[in-house]
Structure 1
């Protein structure tokens, strides 16, 4: 803590809080003269239960009351924090342009289509949705890449292939081999505030996206290349529409440039 104090005294400092914690709160108390920002990336208390959740709620609110600016990654988070703070700015998630450009556009034609997901598979992952998709597309491959913290309750269809977690560059390369990107999240309190980064990466690669109706994805129904299912009964039709979607390399490139992290934080105007 003393080293941080010396650093702050040495020049102009912007204190950015990325996760509500006792340490972050203490920094805010000790650095009252520094401009500060809270990056509200998720509904953090929703990740906890019991006493941990009870402790997280007041801690996060105290941090919110002490910072100068709040960056909210989703519309839901912005609406929530506007009740507690006068300067809340919507700053969606984004993508690493260099990683996307390193692999080039996604393949758009092949007899055997690959419906793919890259990310953590945990309590928010909708296994029923994925199995329904697999049953509806028996001649296609459902490729799931990432660590599994919550296993399915039923035997998986044979066309679902589980693959291990990998680094970000490898993950983007794996996405470039998909024909359709998947975001199969359950609709609950935790996902209500989520703006998935994989959405930006899929679309920057020219992939159509099939998603469940949750969080920020709910607001993207009707966007070009985005197909939102309201229930499992919608999955076969949405899968057909996604497979028939014709991506455009110029559109994908323009989307990528508009949705970089650099563009996001420039628009947030934190340093003005």
Structure 2
């Protein structure tokens, strides 16, 4: 089968998202898979000092790059979504701006006539007009308009939903959101974990970069969705525990966390090395802010943590409470977050190890791929 992903994130950056795992999974099963993400624009020329932005420009110039059997493509557009929004009718204007470049790349990659399209970036929905015979699956992974504070994305979603043949959401709040826009028969399929990567991959010697054990770890972005108050409360209340923070972040958040002597900021680490850091920690954290966009999240990190037997303390969300995972403790406030850490220390850091691993083994991305394909082709 010829499968195309229209995704919000290019392959090969700091973060590995669901579309990357699914594309890799389908490629490993013998499908021809192409992955296309948002375009580079003239505005990106000012970012060439950033390694991955430079890589994106090179990937456009070279006509794509094959990664894990997937052809990853990045088109060019003369204007950004923000510019198109200021000019009016951004869905149409932005879509027309990137259409020619995207189609040339897809034709060269042999993806000009896909059988199946997974789209998780509604701002790329205009491209669907080129594929009237393809089966289209809208697979939103978040509440996009809230994340980006951009109501115009809701209009883009409505256009994609009107064209789509099947719907998959990664959380119940996201499913509710698209049902309200007209989506039907929505499958809630949570994000998964690359078990082979986290449990059987190479072990890198990272001990020298880590503070003394016991260690609690957070891996992810340090942005407006990160619960800095919760992590600070736990670090202050548990001075004998080391708190390891992995991921890119803002200078403001970093400056706050650097004030605590038992917090170690490692910055971004290579995805290949991430399991080596996690397996040297004894507790995992997912502190979230009260930003409304956190409501729709389906954090992959929970299952990645669990695959290594780590108990997880997370800020409560509707979605995480719905799941009622035995190895996950949810906290209602920064004070409660610290209290849950204390409870786990009292119970024993490894008390839920077997439950966590057993649950994670059922969340393999290869299994998710099969479920997604079965649902997508239903009544085709």
Tell me which interval the TM-score lies in, with the shorter structure as reference length: 0.7 to 0.9
When the two structures are aligned, how many residues end up with a matched partner? 260
Aligned to 1:25: 125
Question: Does the 8 A contact of 2:231 with 2:334 survive in 1?
Answer: no
Aligned-partner Cα distance in 1 for 2:216–2:105: 49
Q: CA deviation at 1:56?
A: 1.6
Aligned-partner Cα distance in 1 for 2:107–2:129: 12
Question: Does the 8 A contact of 1:209 with 1:242 survive in 2?
Answer: no
Question: Does the 8 A contact of 1:115 with 1:180 survive in 2?
Answer: yes
SS at match of 1:47: helix
Distance 1:190 1:213, change over 3 A: same
SS at match of 2:313: strand
Matched, 1:246 2:325: no
Between stretches 74-83 and 96-105, larger displacement belongs to 96-105
Report the TM-score, using the length of structure 1 for normalisation.
0.86
Report the TM-score, using the length of structure 2 for normalisation.
0.63
Question: Does the 8 A contact of 1:229 with 1:238 survive in 2?
Answer: yes
Q: 1:77 aligns with which of 171, 174, 179?
A: 174
Matched, 1:202 2:299: no
Aligned-partner Cα distance in 1 for 2:215–2:309: 14
Q: CA deviation at 1:4?
A: 3.9
Q: CA deviation at 1:233?
A: 2.4
Q: CA deviation at 1:39?
A: 1.5
Question: Does the 8 A contact of 1:37 with 1:67 survive in 2?
Answer: yes
Question: Does the 8 A contact of 1:207 with 1:247 survive in 2?
Answer: no
Deviations 1:34-82 (A, max 9, x none): 1111110111112323xxx133220121111111111101110111212
Aligned-partner Cα distance in 2 for 1:257–1:104: 19
Q: CA deviation at 1:158?
A: 0.8
Aligned to 1:108: none
Aligned to 2:141: 41
Aligned-partner Cα distance in 1 for 2:341–2:353: 21
Q: CA deviation at 1:98?
A: 1.1
Between stretches 231-240 and 116-125, larger displacement belongs to 231-240
Q: 2:222 aligns with which of 118, 121, 135?
A: 121
Q: 2:333 aligns with which of 224, 228, 231?
A: 231
What's the RMSD between the two structures over aligned residues?
Answer: 2.5
SS at match of 1:40: coil
Distance 1:115 1:86, change over 3 A: same
Deviations 1:188-230 (A, max 9, x none): 3210000111000111111000001125223244x32211111
Aligned-partner Cα distance in 2 for 1:114–1:242: 13
SS at match of 1:190: helix
Task: Tell me: higher relative CO, structure 1 or 2? Use CA pairs within 8 A at least 6 residues apart.
Answer: 1
Q: CA deviation at 1:185?
A: 0.8
Q: Unpaired segments of 5 or more residues in structure 1?
A: 106-110
Q: CA deviation at 1:271?
A: 4.0
Aligned to 2:242: 141
Q: CA deviation at 1:15?
A: 1.5
Q: Unpaired segments of 5 or more residues in structure 2?
A: 1-102, 204-211
Between stretches 187-196 and 144-153, larger displacement belongs to 144-153
